[in-house]
Structure formats: C-alpha cells, structure tokens
A = this chain, B = another copy of it.
Amino acid sequence: MALAIAWLAGALYTPAASAEDGYDLWLRYRPVEGVRADAYRMRVSRLVAGDAMPTQAVTRAELLRGLGGLLGAAPPLSEAAADGAVVVGTPMSSPSIARLGLELGDLGRDGYLIRSVTLDGHAATVIAANEDIGALYGAFHFLRLLQTGQSIERLDVREAPRVKLRVLNHWDNLDGHVERGYAGASIWDWHKLPDWRAPRYADYARANASIGINGTVLNNVNADALVLTPMYLEKAAALADVFRPYGIRVYLSARFSAPIEIGGLETADPLDPQVQRWWRDKAEEIYRTIPDFGGFLVKANSEGQPGPQDYGRSHADGANLLADALAPHGGTVMWRAFVYSDEEPDDRAKQAYSEFVPLDGEFRDNVMVQVKNGAIDFQPREPFHPLFGAMPDTPLMMEFQITKEYLGFATHLVYLGPMWEEVLRADTHARGEGSTVAKVIDGSLHDHRLTGMAGVANIGSDRNWSGSHFDQANWYAYGRLAWDPELSSRSIAEQWVRMTFSGDDSFVATVVDMMMGSREAAVDYMTPLGLHHLMGSNHHYGPGPWLGGGPRTDWTSVYYHRATRAGIGFDRTASGSNAVAQYAPPVAREFGDLETVPEEFLLWFHHVPWDYRTQSGRPLWDELVHRYTRGVDYVRGMRETWRGLAGDVDPERHAQVAAFLAIQEKEAQRWRDASIAYFQGISGLPLPEGYAPPPHSLEYYESLEFPYAPGSGR
C-alpha cells in the first residue's frame, strides 16, 4: 500500500530533464518494442561508416545515436562486412561500396540508394551515394524506416530530390524579434556570436538535414543593411561552420539600399557603376568569410522596401545587379515577386503578374523569382498564383509560409500539408492539361535546372521549436514536399505522427484524420467560400471583417469582401478587375464562370447575391453561417478526440495540446461569431434555423484589442 502510494508519488519527481518537451522533434529515437526490434537487430549487427570528413562524422554519429536509441544499444563500429552490417558511404569513402559497383549516376549530389545486398558473402544493407551529403540523407531515411516501423529486409530504395534549393526563410530581426514568429524569439543569439555556438544550432541543422532542407536565410526579408557589415558576416560565418557538415548553406536577405546605408554611396541605382562595384566587392568580401555562401534573398519595392523602381529601373535590373556580383562565386539571387506599388492598383491580386510577366527572360541564369503560393498573402485558402506557368523562361521558386500568420498563430492545430498539396497539384494548363504547379517548381514543365522552394520558418526559441507540438508537423511537411512536391500530405502526416508520438496504428489513424481536416476547419471558421484578408490589422490576430479606411484600401477587409446589402464577394471576372484573365484560358474559363468555379473560390472571383444558391442547395447567407459553424464544430471535435487519447501520449505534451485546443475553440468561436455578427449587419438576413446567434454585439467584437499580439511587423 505504502509502496503503491510511493510509486504514484514517484510520478511527481520525474526529473524535468527527461520530460517530453518536444525539443527532440521527430528525431526522438525512442526504443522499438517487441519482435520488430529483434528483426531490426538482426539486420543491424554492426555499422561500417567512416568519419574522415565532417559530413561523414555527423552521419555516423546520427546513426549511432538513432540506432542506439531505437534498438537500446548502438551497433558496434567495424571495418569489415558481416551479416547484418549496415554499410554507409560513397565509392570514394568506402571501399566496400566501391566494390559493389552500384549505379549511382542518376542520383546527383543529394540522392542516395538503400539496398539489401550480399557483401563478401554476408547479408548487409548499404546506404550509398555519390557525395557524403547524399549518404547523410540516406542515413536519415534508413532511420525513418525504423522509426515508422517498416521492414528493412529486401530494401531497394532510390531517392533524389526533385527540387535543388530547399530553403528556410527566417523573418528574424537582428534584435531577436521574429516578424510573424509565434514560437518565442529568434534562435540566433547574434550578440554572443561568433564566439558562442549554442548546441541548438547543430540540433537545428540536424533536424533540417533529416528532411532534406539544404539552405537557410538567416534574417528578415524586411532587411537591415547591417547584416552585410563585417561584424555580422563573421557571426553568419560561425553559423555556416556549424551548418556545413549537414549540407546547409547560409543565405542573407539583402537590403537594396545597402550601398547607401553602409557603403556611403549617394545612390543604389542598379545601373550605376559605383553601385555595381560596391556589390561586387561586397560579394567578394562575403565569400572570403563564407566560402559556400548561398546567395541573397531580396524583397524590393514592396511594402515600403527600397528597390530598383526607386531609380526608374525594373525588378530585372535589380536582380541582375546582385546576380552579377554573386555569379563568379556560384551564388544565387532569390528575388521575391511579392510586390505592390505604393499607389493602389485596381486589384492587388493582379500586381505581381503585371510587373513580372513582362520581365520573363530578362533575368540572369542565377536568378530565381520567388512567388508566394497565392496572389494575396498566405491566406487560409487562395487559388494558385497566376504567375505559375506564366514565366516559362524564368525559374520560379515556391514560397510557402510555415509560420501560421493567418492560420491561428501557434495555438491553432492546423496542419498545412493539405493546403500545400492543393496548390502543388493545381493545374496551370500552361502547357496543356497536367501542367501542375509542382512541375513548374521542379523545373520539369519548362526545363529549368535551377529549382527551389522556400518556407517561411516557424522556428523560435520556444523549447519545442515551433511554439506548439503540432506545428512541428508543418516544418516537417514543408521539408518533405520541398524534396518531392508530389508526395501526399496524408502520408507525410502519418510518417510524422509515428516518429513524433506513437506507432500505434489506431492512434496514428485517429490523429492523422484529425490533422487532415484541420486546415479546412480553419478556412471554415475564418474565411469560408473564397473570402480572404479579413483579419485584425497589423498583428493579423483574430477577426476584423469590419476594417476599412486608411492608409490604403487594399490593406482593409472591406476591400476584399465587398459586402453590401445586395451581395458579397470580389468580382475578378471580366465584369470586375478581370484578374481571372491572368490564368491560362482553361483555368480562366473555369474560375470566371459561376457555373464551373470551385465553390471554395466562389467569393474570391465572384460577387454574388446573398440568396445565391450554393451546391448544398442553401442560399449563400445560410451556407456562410453553416460553414462558420462547421469550422467551430470541427475544433470541438478535435478537443474530444484528443481528450480520448490521454492515455496514448505522455502527459506533458498531451496537456499542452489540450490547452491549445481549448484556446483554438475559443478563438474559432470568436471568428465565427464576430464574422456572423458583422455580415448579418450588412445582409440584414435572419440566421437559419438551429444556428446560435453571436453571444455579443458587433460593437463588442469590434472593441476587442490585442496590443501585444506576437509577431507584428516593426
């Protein structure tokens, strides 16, 4: 009895250090149970792996750490093959692998194969690649097989990434504030760099390498020119040193006016020889400090940032200026297409296309144009950006936002995989049917060698990296999709759940189902039926459909929903802004016609009366109310589901997820109620049967303020 009590009490003094706080991400390497473990041990009797080069050393360390955790003990290291040997390396680094004469030709620099082979008469597993970094990716793949409980007999895996540059964009300011960051402060401790290299930097690199990410932009696209000064280059170089063994290159956001701010020049005109020399010299200085520097990311002439148009030059002039400076060193320019002029366009959604399509073909070979998935700004749902497929002679990078600026910050459980999959599988029809966005991004549609995908990071100083445990899945899914844009978001979610929480099949099925519906739920309770840009101003937290007024109408909500007593929606057909015409004819026809437009884009492209009959048979107003309510119900359902999983997840992570789901339900309810209260005031229509009226007045919802909501721009 007393012992029983003591045992219970024992739960109270588990040392904090071993708590499940999420720091390990999907690399937890907890022991595999039962017969499966024995089967694995048979196939992992020893490890043959070199450590002559840094990347080889981290590969070997990761395998020892991972296999040691998963199998209870690390396999002994050995030189010779034996039954159950795992042999890792390249023909250069491993004589055994060289002897096998595997065809690695088509795997490129990052690819690998994992194969069950007979080596010197022994049954062995080989993880082989052309380069050390490929072997590291292969090692993570092999570990993932064990983490997800798959068989490692008769393996024959061939993998190579479909996208060349797989890059994180950190919107981190030099003062530690992260714009649109909901996971604490920046993980870059600039003040203590370069002298103090926090262990977390290497864990960051490990996590990224495990999903194939090979580049990181350290600073905010709203850039501070100081990052290009010697003091900061030295700090960036220290990070590059830590990341290098993991195959991750450092990039910097470059402020276009840097030649004036830190160069002492009078101008930043891209055609000015002095300016050109300044950037050439700066590039040489950077490469002296960081020999494998990746290049520049640039936000120019957008939201008040300086750019070539300040001098009457084009985006191509600006991008080529930096491209010429980087070219001798092999660097790349990632030039963002997220632009809008200081004057208001007739439709902001049209502006990137209008500015960039005429420039197609004018960019240097080492320039990529980085395009957000949609034409507005990372909304819960947007149709694919019309630029995709419209610039055949320019390699276009995809820019996804991993951090949930418009999708509930850290506390809303919203798995973004389905949103990204939806965009990547969208058909641009640029070269006839099947011209998917994925094929634009991987270069296959227009035959580009230089390809890339960028993800705006959701990483911060919070212990669990992403602010919430489930937001780790979005980091993971981004990396996997950057490696292969045609993966299914469900298979990615399943993989992640098994590695992060549990391999129990029914648990996995339950959680994956919950995740897969979560994004549609957010669309429902925030912006159903193609509505968009209805959030609070500046911090973008919570509903603000009533926002109007200055400084410019295309920063308001009323500009986008255009609700009147007569109807609601943004007419982007020929009778309106005709943004639809920016798509290829078949797409333009589909989106432009009320008969064929997918209902989820209805109010994105059309202005319709409140009594417009939707596919459900309900009038539009009723359908709106129905969807707002459905979104809240889904969140309530997730709470119940999660409550039922209490026994299957460690108490610490279960408690945080449960608390966050409670916050999500409260906020989803507020989105629903505030939106209905506002739109009802305009439509003047009664709520349909059985739908609860908002508990507060519209004035109440309008009065709510959130002065220090995180992640605001500065």
CA distance A3 to B68 in the complex (A): 13
With A78-B2, A190-B708 in contact, is A195–B15 under 8 Å at CB? Answer: no
Task: Give the residue of B6, B29, B46, B666 whose beta carbon is less than 8 angstroms from that of A77.
Answer: B6
Q: How far is the CB of A708 from chain B (nearest CB, A)?
A: 5
B203 pairs with A16, CB closer than 8 A? yes
Which among A17-25, A517-525, A551-559, A669-677 touches the partner chain? A17-25
A659 and B73 CA atoms in complex are apart in Å by 32
Minimum CB–CB distance from A188 to chain B (whole Å) comes to 11
Is there a chain B Cβ closer than 8 Å to A191's Cβ? yes
Q: From residue A653, how far is it (CB to closest CB) to chain B in Å?
A: 11
Interface core residue of A9, A12, A65, A184 (most chain B CB under 10 Å): A9
**Do the beta carbons of A76 and B196 come within 8 Å of each other?**
no
Restricting to A1-35, which residues have a CB under 8 Å from any CB of B?
A: 2-3, 5-6, 9-10, 12-13, 15-21, 23-24, 29
Which A residues, 157 to 207, have Cβ-Cβ distances below 8 Å to chain B?
174-176, 184-185, 190-192, 195-197, 199, 203
Contact B708 A175 (CB under 8 A): yes
Nearest CB on B from A222, distance (A): 15
A662 at the binding interface (Cβ < 8 Å) = yes
Interchain CB contact under 8 A, A69 and B12:
no
Given contacts A17-B24, A76-B5, contact A185 B174 (CB under 8 A): no
Give the oligomeric copy count: 2
- A3: chain B residues at CB < 8 Å are 76
Q: Closest chain B residue to A8 by CB distance?
A: B77
A174 and B708 within 8 A (CB)? yes
Do A74 and B13 have beta carbons less than 8 Å apart?
Answer: yes
Could you mark each residue 646-666 of chain A with 1 if its beta carbon is under 8 Å from any beta carbon of chain B, else 0? 000000100010011011001
Quote the shortest CB–CB distance from A400 to chain B (angstroms).
24
Decide: B77 and A5 in contact? CB cutoff 8 A: yes
Q: Does A565 contact B (CB under 8 A)?
A: no
Give the Cβ gap from A705 to chain B, nearest Cβ, in Å. Answer: 8
Which positions in A face B, CB cutoff 8 Å? 2-3, 5-6, 9-10, 12-13, 15-21, 23-24, 29, 46, 60-61, 64-66, 68-69, 73-78, 174-176, 184-185, 190-192, 195-197, 199, 203, 226, 409-411, 461, 463, 652, 656, 659-660, 662-663, 666, 706-710
20 example contacts (A-B, Cβ-Cβ < 8 A) are as follows A2-B46, A2-B76, A6-B74, A6-B76, A6-B77, A9-B74, A10-B74, A13-B29, A15-B29, A17-B23, A174-B708, A176-B710, A184-B461, A185-B185, A191-B409, A192-B410, A195-B663, A195-B666, A196-B411, A196-B660
